[in-house]
Structure 1
Amino acid sequence: MTEDMRSIVGAELTLAPPDAPMLAALLGLLHETGVAPDELPSGIELLTELQLVQGLCAATPAGAIAHLHRVCTQERGAARITLDHVHGQQAAKEAFTQLQADLEDWRHGRLPWAEVTSSFLLFGPPGTGKTHLASALAGSARLPLVKTSYSDCQKAGHQGDMLRELNAAADRAISQTPAVFFLDEIDSFFSRNTPSNGYILGVVNGLLTLLDRLNATPGVIVMAATNYPQRVDPAILRSGRLDRHISVGPLDRTGVRAALLADLPEGLLSDPELCLLADQLAGRVGADIASLIRDARTRARRAGNGLSAQHVKAAADRISPQPEPDLQRRIAIHEAGHLLAGHIFGLPAPTQAQITSRNGHVAMQCFDVLTQKRIFSQIRVDLGGYAAEQVVFGAPCNGSGGDIESDLARATFRAQQAELSYGFGETLSWQPSTTDIERLSARQRARIEQQLQQALKETKQALQTHRADLERIAEVLIRERELDRNRIAELLREVAVAEPSSVPRKAPGRNSHGLGGSATDDCNGPE
């Protein structure tokens, strides 16, 4: 309903979804005969409008009842992805389970739509199951799912064609209310804060208007997905457009076990075998586990016999080879360096730490406000893994570098923010922190490098002082693989440190501040 039409409506009534007593009464009125509710099948409330209308159009009550039994049986037998098929991703499952309950209350008039959290951003690496989660929610709630993406819309043509395609998808969701509207690749719309042209500005503004329209429509659940949340325009991410931001990450050991148990025959793997595979595959994404199981079944067919544990182990070794002990120790030392550096330089304890057969991860708490002390401490945490490898092994491996999510990239970007955008540098003249480093002046690049070198020097000295603690925490990581907030706090409680000096020494002539796996900021959304 348009806003003009809504303004002349005197009252809005929310009708409960049809059930057996309601349909029995309708059939009785249509055919002028009594129809008992217990003559009708269970599951009527989950049928679509078209399925119900076909039943009401039947020539006789018996024909209507037979039709309803047939479609309900078909629906029960149809393969449908639900939240029960989602393994790991506890935050998403909890949010969507609550949404299901709220949706049911809204359908029965017990909850106004304005009180339902109905818009979500799913962010995380490729292959973690963001699209799968949208399908699972739609399947569990028995809602139609309308999916589109930047690529789908852009194929329609120029700006006007693209926006027309985007709005057509939104219209499909609104016409099928209640429904799930899923927009993938939302980072491809870019941020208006980055250099762009009028085409991009027009498309992003059109998207903002569309999100407002969808969120103003009771019954429409809005979901967007991205691999790169930092690239999304802040206006898209704000409350009222995408209220809840949920990280969808790789599987932990519990998630791997659940995925294997759900998709393999019962009893195929013993508990010790499951534990070993969980250690081996932790950190992989759901798509990897699905590929592993397909490979194992292919190996069994090729061998001409039934699926066995050996087929599963061989497929697991192809995806994630058994780690060398020396590599596992290096990964553990690297992640312990992040943990210990954060504690020494005064940051709150991380929320999680994990090592896998290939890498590791430490989730640091993030801050809404960054002081000079905090950002320089964060840079030392970023360099903690690199410094720890230098302390223990004499030199680092390539685990701290690589792509834009690496430790070195993160530390460089923070130093660049401090120098150019936050007023912690040599001048107060603002520059975007996204400026390519090669476009900075030689003096600016030298200052950023100076801050990084000073931070590495101090971090290395601190970890050398606490080498025994570094080794102790690494051994715990090797043994336990995953540490939660409480376990991390317990380990760090034993580390006695003096009050850190997080404001680095002055550089000549000015007030200067120095500033592997990976240490990332654990936020409810992009920082």
Structure 2
Amino acid sequence: MAVSLARKPVPPHRIAASLLFARTFDERPQLLRGIRGGAPIIIIDIGDRIMLDEVALAWQRILFGDDDKLDGISIVDRNDSTPEIHFMIVKEPPKPQVRASNGDITLEELSMARPIIAISPAAKSHLPDVLIRAATERINFPTLDLATIAQIIRIVTGKTIRQPIDANIVERTTLADLVVAVRYDRTPAECVAELRRLSMAKENLKASRELALVDLHGIEEARTWAEAAISDIKAWRDGRIPWSQVPSGIALSGPPGCGKTTFAAVFCREAGLHMVAATLAKWQSSGEAHLGHLLRAMRQDFEEARANVPSCVFIDEIDSFPSRSGVTHSHRDYVVEVVNALLAEVDGIKGRDGVVVIGASNEITRCEPALLRAGRLEKIVTIGLPSAVELELMFRVRLKSDLAQEDLATIVELTTGMVGADVERIVKDARRFARQADDRAMTLSDLRNAIVRPEVRPTEQRWRHCVHEAAHLLVDVILFGPDGVLATMASIGRAGGRSVRTIDPGRFFGTPDDYRRRLQVILAGRAGEECLLGSVSHGAGGEPGLGSDLEEATQLASAMVTRLGLAGTGYLTYFGRSQNVRDELAFAEIREAIGRELSDAAMAAEILVRAHRRALEAVARLLLSSGRASGADVAEVLRGRGSDRTARRVDPLRAHGLAGSERSWSAKDSPTAREPN
């Protein structure tokens, strides 16, 4: 079919739409004959919105020339030799009354035996059911290919392209890229060069973050789900199983930076899924925050997914859709309608064949429970902090060939408790350090410098930090064992030291005593400072922005009182799913119960550190001299084998001029030493 184009410059994306639409009917000559002499029912799905807009402008001219001018839904009155034609272009999912009206019009046209052409992103959700059932031809609109791009360049520039276009460039070229690269004032070679530049920019961006599922460590359960889903999606594509047998909904829960978004992107790439990324904030910002604007934006994202199956809708921060039963404020109706709309989309009322839905949250317990039930986001995967082995694997993946022969044990130790996003940032910073230092090869020191701030603390302050972390470590080992716990004194971020546990204690069964022991560990730093230094610092209390010990302990005690039923028979009440401790503290009885739990735990921690005062001081000295101490080191000290080793070393307190002040640290007489009940 010949395409008539004006001599003046024509946008390349308009030419693309015309060429591809013309090709669609050139490859099906019977359709055009049928339109002129019969009554075919033709449905065309065009998932690309830009392409759909351009086809809507060009299709009539391509088929019938420039004589007829049509807008909206109408009938074309032609000469006696050509039947009337009904056409329908639906760009947005219609409201129920509009869909019903379109169905009535379709029935009328069918009864008159008129040809019908219907164009939409996805027929199932945009067009009347009766039209879909009556369709004699279903067409998926073709995508850009090498021949079409070459023809577009020839039409726009007026010159034939002399050099072949790389297939990878074609694969990554969009309609928007054509507008940027292909211009009438350029030669074909310049157009191709610009397309190559745009393609390389995409490739570089992709390569900088491109990982495979096998490269994702610390999320084994999610990875297992993804591998099974990819296998089943392939079986569905081959027609061997229905979509109902494909695992198509998962909710990921974990701390910020643990890889939830990266997992979704990698899974979509390996499964060959079109990815639609969404958040409640994105939907709200689509208009003026009116409910109708939000719901329309939500609907459009799901329609885009349905128009590009197989696809995936990734919804980040799904805890933004809270439990409807817990919403009590004045805007409750608004929130409930938003949640209901999401449930309807995820549930597949409009059809979810070929669409996977992935949700991600830092606090999955705040989500609407109906969103997590079977048939929606039915698989819930909790992602924790990576182990030492997983951290090293994360570093190796991102370092690639750099530092291949180096031992990363010290780096892993410093980053214990961090997540994948931290690892990525550290490696990026280390590469920058090496690049700015005469573009030399990266060294282990570059990695360390990307983690640890230069040490500028006064000795007195550093000693206080050592005492604080030593107390955490000591009490943790005494109550939960030495495996998988470590304290370091490196200045990382705003913290001057930290004590972390990477292995769940085997003795934790969720009993009141278990939680109270956990409270003792959290408050031990405070008790250690009081024991050895005679006072506590704000680091043991509520210094803003650090997630302080007191904040963490209060949150845990609040959970014991309000949700877990672990604060005694006098407080056996469930106060709801809310995790807003500030709201819970508004109730006097809750404040009283939380205060009692914290006071009891603080007293027990103080008794415990005073009972092991010499061990506490030995561990603190070890931290001051070497900058680290493990659970095994503490166990050795407690067994009495660490004292001589510590004594034989240069006394770090004397070396720093602090030995004379030791008397003031023990000025208070400690109570009779005893183990806490």
* C-alpha separation in 2, matches of 1:280 and 1:414: 26
1:70 corresponds in structure 2 to: 167
Residue identity in the other structure for 2:515: Q
Matching of residue 209 in structure 1 with residue 335 in structure 2? no
After TM superposition, the structure 1 = structure 2 runs for residues 423-442 of structure 1, keeping only pairs within 5 Å, are 424=568, 426=570, 431-432=575-576, 434=580, 436-441=583-588
Displacement, 1:115? 3.6
Displacement, 1:144? 1.3
Residue identity in the other structure for 2:307: S
Name the SS of the counterpart of 2:348 in structure 1.
helix
1:134 corresponds in structure 2 to: 264
Residue identity in the other structure for 2:336: L
Contact 1:333 1:388 in 2 (8 A): yes
1:290 corresponds in structure 2 to: 424
Residue identity in the other structure for 2:420: G
1:385 corresponds in structure 2 to: 522
Displacement, 1:293? 3.2
- 427-436 or 318-327: which moved more? 318-327
Displacement, 1:135? 0.9
1:412 corresponds in structure 2 to: 554
1:229 corresponds in structure 2 to: 364
- CA deviation vs aligned residue, 1:13-46 (integer Å, no higher than 9, x gap): xxxxxxxxxxxxxxxxxxxxxxxxxxxxxxxxxx
Structure 1: tracts of 5 or more residues without a match: 11-47, 60-66, 344-348, 484-489, 495-513, 516-527
Displacement, 1:151? 1.6
After TM superposition, the structure 1 = structure 2 runs for residues 457-468 of structure 1, keeping only pairs within 5 Å, are 457-458=603-604, 461=607
1:21 corresponds in structure 2 to: none
Contact 1:124 1:226 in 2 (8 A): yes
- 189-198 or 150-159: which moved more? 189-198
| CA-atom RMSD in angstroms | 5.1
Contact 2:385 2:502 in 1 (8 A): no
Matching of residue 102 in structure 1 with residue 235 in structure 2? no
Name the SS of the counterpart of 2:309 in structure 1.
coil
- CA deviation vs aligned residue, 1:259-301 (integer Å, no higher than 9, x gap): 44334462545323x2222222333333333333333333334
Contact 2:258 2:419 in 1 (8 A): yes
Contact 1:339 1:381 in 2 (8 A): no
1:88 corresponds in structure 2 to: 217
Contact 1:154 1:162 in 2 (8 A): yes
* C-alpha separation in 1, matches of 2:397 and 2:361: 27
After TM superposition, the structure 1 = structure 2 runs for residues 499-514 of structure 1, keeping only pairs within 5 Å, are none
Displacement, 1:163? 1.3
- CA deviation vs aligned residue, 1:369-421 (integer Å, no higher than 9, x gap): 97xxx245313323323237636972666357567976544543454455556
Could you tell me which of 379, 383, 394 is aligned with 1:244? 379
After TM superposition, the structure 1 = structure 2 runs for residues 319-330 of structure 1, keeping only pairs within 5 Å, are 330=468
Quickly say closer, same or farther: Cα 1:207–1:424, change in 2 above 3 A: farther
1:183 corresponds in structure 2 to: 315
- CA deviation vs aligned residue, 1:475-495 (integer Å, no higher than 9, x gap): 9xx989699xxxxxx99xx9x
* C-alpha separation in 1, matches of 2:476 and 2:350: 41
- CA deviation vs aligned residue, 1:308-355 (integer Å, no higher than 9, x gap): 316624642456979979857854652553464368xxxxx99x6565
Question: Which protein has greater RCO, CA pairs closer than 8 Å, 6+ apart?
Answer: 1
- CA deviation vs aligned residue, 1:465-521 (integer Å, no higher than 9, x gap): 78999999999xx989699xxxxxx99xx9xxxxxxxxxxxxxxxxxxx99xxxxxx
Name the SS of the counterpart of 2:313 in structure 1.
strand
Displacement, 1:93? 2.7
- 248-257 or 72-81: which moved more? 72-81
Contact 1:113 1:219 in 2 (8 A): yes
- 431-440 or 466-475: which moved more? 466-475
Residue identity in the other structure for 1:154: Q
Based on CA coordinates, which of the two structures has the bigger radius of gyration? 2
Aligned residues: 430
1:306 corresponds in structure 2 to: 440
Displacement, 1:3? 13
Displacement, 1:246? 2.6
- CA deviation vs aligned residue, 1:81-104 (integer Å, no higher than 9, x gap): 342584422323333223222322
* C-alpha separation in 1, matches of 2:552 and 2:252: 22
Matching of residue 451 in structure 1 with residue 597 in structure 2? yes
Quickly say closer, same or farther: Cα 1:289–1:260, change in 2 above 3 A: same
Displacement, 1:113? 3.3
Residue identity in the other structure for 1:99: A
Structure 2: tracts of 5 or more residues without a match: 1-123, 134-139, 152-163, 173-198, 491-496, 640-675
- 75-84 or 163-172: which moved more? 75-84
1:143 corresponds in structure 2 to: 273
Matching of residue 341 in structure 1 with residue 479 in structure 2? yes
Displacement, 1:217? 1.5
- 196-205 or 251-260: which moved more? 251-260
**TM-score, normalised to structure 1's length?**
0.64
1:199 corresponds in structure 2 to: 334
Residue identity in the other structure for 2:167: R
Identity fraction in percent = 24
